[in-house]
Structure 1
Amino acid sequence: MSFLTTLILLFFFICSPSAAILLNKLLLPTPITGPESLAFDRNGEGPYVSSSDGRIFKYMATGPRNGSFVEYGYSSPMRNKTICDGLSDFSDIQATICGRPLGLGFNHQTNVLYVTDAYFGLVSIGPNGGAPTRLVTGVRGTPFRFLDALDVDPETGIVYFAQSSKNFQLRNYIALFNSNDSSGSLYRYDPRTNQTTELLSDLAFPAGVAASNDGSFVLVTEFLGRRIQRFWLKGPRANTSDIFAQLTGSPDNIKRNPRNEFWVAVNNLLGPPPPPLPPILPSAVRINDLGITSQVMLLADEFVTQPVSEVHEFNGTLYGGSLFTSYAAVFTTP
């Protein structure tokens, strides 16, 4: 038995994993894929999802479009509908025109949607949807290479976001997976001052960001580092960082729930390195505010052989997204 297999079995034994129960699949318009991130607005409507052709879609639970996704906005200021609509492959060079939105998060006080686009930086979309406003495209004169996740502090409206790598772009993700790259960073953007500050650097593929409910700290996942770091924002440890949790798998997005717990999308890569991806074991991991894992759910029925990118709890229901599927999953625990 390999060391990796032993480690994964030990992880499952300790955490007593359960299998999630699939309730529904929310299908994107064909042939669009990649609802990598999800968000709900201040009215509880959604989910809103990012997609492979550069648009953000809103799921309609009521009205004449009930049960379908409709276009809400987009993240590229130079997007061309003729070229971009229906683009299903995020690695295509057209993504540098069409954009590739990844992280989503609403400011629930203003209902402004913030988006990290892998190619166009941090943008915002007004409360009525539509065209983006570019907010941050780089720092200290250096353009961003690959923005990924974000979160919005529910009290202050400050946006925390991650650059996954200074050396690789999204379309080079296989090379990034096979690298020892640790050029990622965690940033803070204050919409009141338009100031951007680097909080952490030298991160190994940061892929998820979540602020605590009380604003005392912000978490950032490291996909290649298989861990979650915590940066303290308040208190005696302000402006310092520590290891919040060490994981056996690779963590992607992380989202807080109303109880100040955090859902982490984790993928255990089983087998040799890509191309394009080895067999995986996708799971949803719930961690409390002390960094202790309290629940592990296997997501094999929801994502089969595809990696899960995000698990988002809203009104007691869990939603899952993936960079590669044509749907967002709705599921619950047994």
Structure 2
Amino acid sequence: MSYINSLTMFLLPIFVFCFPSLVFSEIFRTIQLPPAATGPESMAFELATGRFYVGVADGRVLQYNGLTGFVEYGFTGGNRSKALCDGITNPDLGRVCGRPFGLGLHYATNQLYVCDAYLGLMVLGSGGRLANPVSAGVEGVPYRFCNGLDVHQLSGNVFFSDSTTAYDLRDASKGSASNDSTGRLLMYNPTTRRVTVLLKDLPGPAGVAVSQDGSYVLVSNYNANNTIKFWLMGPRADTYDIVNIQARPNNIQRTMLGDYWQAAAMVKQATQTLVPIGQRINSSGRVIQTANFERWYGNNLISEVQEFRGSLYIASPSVDFIGIYTI
């Protein structure tokens, strides 16, 4: 055994003991959530500081700083109490405790927009604490499952999805909404404070990502296993194309280069089961790169893959950690 290998075997247990929240593999490590917190669904990063925000199953939005770890930043349930809600996973308490799904930070105003699955579109200011409601419905139809979200940085417009107008998260988790096609793509204009319905009758729209120039939006249809490109400007405005077909597409996150990472799944041929993957796609939906996360997540599907400073950060509602995969 070489000197370097011997030294590594000696130092690694000491490093893990000193930094227990970081568990290393060859190219994968995890950041453990605080005790009793589980179900990270989506993340939003501060570009300058590297801090990020994540929503968890009990209604809280946590902030992570690499030096101090996680702190409680805010929450979405107006009648939420820590005694009742902290650590819960009971979906029947969702309307009281809240359940943050999509997150998006508008850098110019330092506002963190939240799609709460039960309570609709909300926003947290720089001080955190209780999120302010922005919109609970549009055109007389309440949001039943507010899901994916993205902010166009230049305009401040917020694009988000309501996965279904017929079922809420409790029904969806039981498979009741698997054939539903009543979802909507929506846009909130913070200047006018109005929400516009961009598309109706979508089959489980989940992830939403607006292009850097604001000319189109990518939307993943979870139930239909496809991704569409909806044009906001130009001669194709208000029309869309199916640009990618992939099992269980979920949240989509734009990269600094202008392409996208999308959480999805693929069928494992040996067992005919779904395994979690991330796919990097371009603006036309062409797959550029695929990362397979079965080794670390098994058959637990993931909800988001987001690239930040050369690594992929992975969220999944089935686990109690954030995964970090080095590209």
* Residue matched to 2:231: 232
Cα offset for 1:44? 3.4
Q: CA-to-partner distance for each residue in 1:166-185, whole Å, 9 max, x for gaps?
A: 11111112444663111100
* Residue matched to 2:73: 72
- What SS does the corresponding residue of 2:171 show, helix, strand or coil? helix
- What SS does the corresponding residue of 2:230 show, helix, strand or coil? strand
Q: State whether residues 42 and 109 of structure 1, in contact with CA within 8 Å, keep that contact through their aligned partners in structure 2.
A: no
* Residue matched to 1:154: 153
Cα offset for 1:207? 0.9
* Residue matched to 2:300: 306
Equivalent residue for 1:267, pick from 248, 265, 268? 265
| 1:325 and 2:319 are equivalent in the alignment | yes
For the structure 1 residues 29 and 260, does the alpha-carbon distance in structure 2 shift closer, same or farther, using more than 3 Å as the test?
A: same
Gapped regions of structure 2 (runs ≥ 5): 1-24
State how far apart, in whole Å, the 1-side matches of 2:234 and 2:162 are.
26
Q: State whether residues 185 and 202 of structure 1, in contact with CA within 8 Å, keep that contact through their aligned partners in structure 2.
A: yes
Higher RCO (Cα < 8 Å, 6 or more apart): 1
* Residue matched to 1:201: 200
AA aligned to 1:254 is I
- What SS does the corresponding residue of 1:29 show, helix, strand or coil? coil
AA aligned to 2:112 is L
TM-score (norm 1): 0.86
AA aligned to 1:186 is L
Q: State whether residues 105 and 150 of structure 1, in contact with CA within 8 Å, keep that contact through their aligned partners in structure 2.
A: yes
State how far apart, in whole Å, the 2-side matches of 1:205 and 1:176 are.
12
Task: Summarize the alignment of residues 234-253 of structure 1 with structure 2, pairs less than 5 Å apart.
Answer: 234-247=233-246, 249-253=247-251
- What SS does the corresponding residue of 2:92 show, helix, strand or coil? coil
Q: State whether residues 27 and 328 of structure 1, in contact with CA within 8 Å, keep that contact through their aligned partners in structure 2.
A: yes
State how far apart, in whole Å, the 2-side matches of 1:258 and 1:154 are.
13
Give aligned-pair identity as a percent. 39
Q: State whether residues 177 and 224 of structure 1, in contact with CA within 8 Å, keep that contact through their aligned partners in structure 2.
A: no
Equivalent residue for 2:277, pick from 278, 283, 297? 283
Q: State whether residues 171 and 177 of structure 2, in contact with CA within 8 Å, keep that contact through their aligned partners in structure 1.
A: no
State how far apart, in whole Å, the 2-side matches of 1:299 and 1:270 are.
12
Task: Summarize the alignment of residues 211-230 of structure 1 with structure 2, pairs less than 5 Å apart.
Answer: 211-230=210-229
For the structure 1 residues 94 and 178, does the alpha-carbon distance in structure 2 shift closer, same or farther, using more than 3 Å as the test?
A: closer
State how far apart, in whole Å, the 2-side matches of 1:174 and 1:235 are.
38
Q: CA-to-partner distance for each residue in 1:70-118, whole Å, 9 max, x for gaps?
A: 111111222112111121x1x4311220000000000011110000001
Q: State whether residues 21 and 332 of structure 1, in contact with CA within 8 Å, keep that contact through their aligned partners in structure 2.
A: no
Q: CA-to-partner distance for each residue in 1:122-168, whole Å, 9 max, x for gaps?
A: 00000121111100001122221111110000211100000011111
AA aligned to 2:238 is N
* Residue matched to 2:111: 112
* Residue matched to 1:82: 83
State how far apart, in whole Å, the 2-side matches of 1:258 and 1:29 are.
30
Aligned length: 301
TM-score (norm 2): 0.88
Deviates more, 1:126-135 or 1:112-121: 126-135
- What SS does the corresponding residue of 1:187 show, helix, strand or coil? strand
For the structure 1 residues 129 and 140, does the alpha-carbon distance in structure 2 shift closer, same or farther, using more than 3 Å as the test?
A: same
For the structure 1 residues 325 and 223, does the alpha-carbon distance in structure 2 shift closer, same or farther, using more than 3 Å as the test?
A: same
- What SS does the corresponding residue of 2:148 show, helix, strand or coil? strand
| 1:61 and 2:63 are equivalent in the alignment | no
State how far apart, in whole Å, the 2-side matches of 1:322 and 1:197 are.
29
State how far apart, in whole Å, the 2-side matches of 1:255 and 1:300 are.
20
Cα offset for 1:41? 2.1
* Residue matched to 1:192: 191
Q: State whether residues 106 and 113 of structure 1, in contact with CA within 8 Å, keep that contact through their aligned partners in structure 2.
A: yes
Q: State whether residues 122 and 131 of structure 2, in contact with CA within 8 Å, keep that contact through their aligned partners in structure 1.
A: yes
AA aligned to 2:86 is D
Q: State whether residues 55 and 71 of structure 1, in contact with CA within 8 Å, keep that contact through their aligned partners in structure 2.
A: yes
Higher-Rg member (1/2): 2
AA aligned to 2:252 is I
| 1:26 and 2:31 are equivalent in the alignment | yes
Cα offset for 1:287? 0.4
* Residue matched to 1:255: 253
